[in-house]
Structure 1
Amino acid sequence: MAEVVALKPIQEGPVFSELTDGVLRITLANPPANALSIAAMAAFQAELERARDDRSVRVIVLAASGKVFSAGHDLKEVSAHRADADRGRAFFQRTMADCSKLMQTIVRHPKPVIAEVDGLATAAGLQLVASCDLAICSQESTFCTPGVNIGLFCSTPMVALSRNVSRKQAMEMLLTGETIDAATAREFGLVNRVVPREYLVQVVNKYAQIIASKSALTLKIGKEAFYAQAEMSLADAYEYASRVMVENMLARDAEEGIDAFIGKRTPEWKGE
């Protein structure tokens, strides 16, 4: 029987976490919009930071409750600060800084992060999906960067979006603000798989368990190297990846994995 551990957030915030067989599921529970308010981003950040050095966490799944995955930033919260003496500048700067930190934490996290999307992911909500290593969505899911419709270009979501899809596809979404369906999102490369809603959790869990069965050290090395080399020239990328490969080969887990493969047995990972 799977071991399930319900975890309380480090600080108050609209998220709920549950650890099952090495898979930490962090659920955004701030319906109906599941907005990425200051409190929601802080709660997400706290859970991710706690999971960083927790050896019992092998894979992280980001999910949401309700019909909307996330509608992005809380526009009511944002608008309320226009009455501030600086017309909201300080609050807007804090919002963008917190959001940028959260997205970079996901990308740089040593554990693989999977987005489980069921519903609308818009603006910073889409940014959250695009920042994850993998994304699996239901057939009913939709995606958009609609800021242009309200006079606010989705510049920060653009960073994650443009690193997932082609420039023409990214600009199509950013300039029109129109919604794309799940099939188009997969065609664009924004999500990995589109599945019937009733099988979404099952499919995500299958992916998570497959990944969780690998060496945690190897996954950490590989994820870090993937994003690092993506920003380099071809020659620099090969030089860097070769150094990473050599160090990886010297790791005990690599030695164990190769010996297990040759001996036709299941490897016993030590994380070193």
Structure 2
Amino acid sequence: MNHRIAIAGCSGRMGRLLIETVLGAEDCELAGALDQPTSPAVGQDAGAFLGRNSGVAIASDLRTGLRDANYLIDFTRPEGTLAHLRLCRELGVKAVVGTTGFSDAQKAEIAEIARDVAIVMAPNMSVGVNVVLKLLDVAARALSQGYDIEIIEAHHRHKVDAPSGTALKMGEVVAEALGRDLKQCAVYGREGVTGERDPSTIGFATVRGGDIIGDHTVLFAGIGERIEVTHKSSSRATYAQGSLRAVRFLAGQAKGLFGMEHVLGMA
């Protein structure tokens, strides 16, 4: 079975990697490539950066980019992703969403769209990160008393949202395991005389610089010991490969909103 896939944001770093990964997969076919109207790449062959002729021209019109596709992979920005998903619902195109930074209202709209079309949405498509999320649930339950929890993340200088979607997901997993609401217990910055640390809080620290692809550490700091659960990305290839696993999972789903835990059979 060939999975006919369109890629959004195809001229970006992630978009190009997704195109390369799709072109290299035996069971996948590049069926569309989308970019902003202002992009100089519009009209060019989507495989030109690889020195290949894919037969797919980069389009700025959504309908043109999606008309031959059964799936869309989208790692762009919240507003653009939502516009894409609205049309996906109309056309019956399933979607894999790696975009981060959605508001609660935007997440609610995605859940509504998923009542009609199947969507996998995850802040991180890496298989390793999603295994770490499972480990964090176990660790948080076992270390629920006497341990302060801090989440430290680092990304490249071009990342526009902070904390990262992955860091927030880690915080949500830990908070849920502890019976807490992350919105009520998260601390996103410390400055000046802050007083003693509130043991019920979950702290976040953000680093931005250079070409760091993505590092995440959850620190459980107790008296006399500390436990660190860390994931470090050395290549975006893991996100692309995880996205194709999500596409293959969606082949068996008619509608609904799923996470990578469903894709990996850990739900």
Taking structure 1 as the reference length, the TM-score comes to: 0.36
Q: Which has the higher contact order (CA 8 A, sep 6+)?
A: 2
Higher fraction of strand: 2
Higher fraction of helix: 1
Taking structure 2 as the reference length, the TM-score comes to: 0.36
